[in-house]
């Protein structure tokens, strides 16, 4: 049964991210649902489960993009590792702390992608200042809604 729940969460995350980024973007901006879900899973279930989801969802994002294949997989895996290992020292039960964690990880994601682009390509993989400033804030606003969904789907460990 746990395998079916895990597979459902994985496919639902990809479908929700695709649907949101295709139909609900406003001025090309919207929350990055896969980052929020990776952080929520790592905070709920630990670094190993979070890394598995982060790597797989990162490969999904990398196949959808045309730059630096593997960058999203690497960055989401690293984010899940850091969140999963520090989850015992952080309180992720309140919506404010969930939002703050999503904003920090989103900024780290953007900066890590820019750095990887500078190392492996000719320039930084930067989405622009509007997305660079708005997407982390939108992730912070969406995180208090995504965290309870992930918690409810997994159940208590």
Structural domain for 13, as ranges: 2-154
Give the number of domains in the chain: 1
What pTM was estimated for this model as a whole? 0.87
Q: Give the CATH number of the domain where residue 10 resides.
A: 1.10.1760
Q: Is the pLDDT of residue 70 over 60?
A: yes
Segment 38-52, tens digit of pLDDT: 999 998 888 999 999
Residue 106 · residue 32 · CB < 8 Å: yes
Segment 11-23, tens digit of pLDDT: 988 888 888 888 8
Structure tokens at 31: 């929350």
Least confident of 64-73, 75-84, 108-117, 132-141: 64-73
Residue 93 · residue 77 · CB < 8 Å: no
């Amino acid at each position: 049964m746990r395998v079916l729940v895990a597979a459902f969460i994985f496919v639902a995350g990809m479908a929700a991210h695709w649907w949101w980024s295709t139909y609900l973007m406003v001025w090309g901006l919207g929350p990055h649902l896969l980052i929020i879900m990776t952080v929520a899973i790592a905070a709920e279930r630990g670094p190993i489960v979070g890394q598995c989801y982060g790597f797989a969802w990162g490969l999904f994002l990398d196949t959808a993009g045309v730059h630096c294949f593997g960058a999203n997989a690497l960055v989401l895996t690293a984010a899940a590792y850091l969140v999963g290992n520090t989850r015992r020292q952080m309180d992720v039960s309140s919506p404010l702390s969930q939002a703050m964690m999503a904003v920090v990880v989103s900024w780290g994601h953007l900066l890590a992608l820019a750095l990887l682009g500078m190392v492996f390509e000719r320039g930084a993989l930067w989405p622009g200042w509007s997305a660079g400033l708005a997407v982390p804030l939108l992730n912070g606003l969406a995180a208090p809604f995504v965290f309870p969904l992930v918690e409810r789907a997994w159940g208590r460990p």
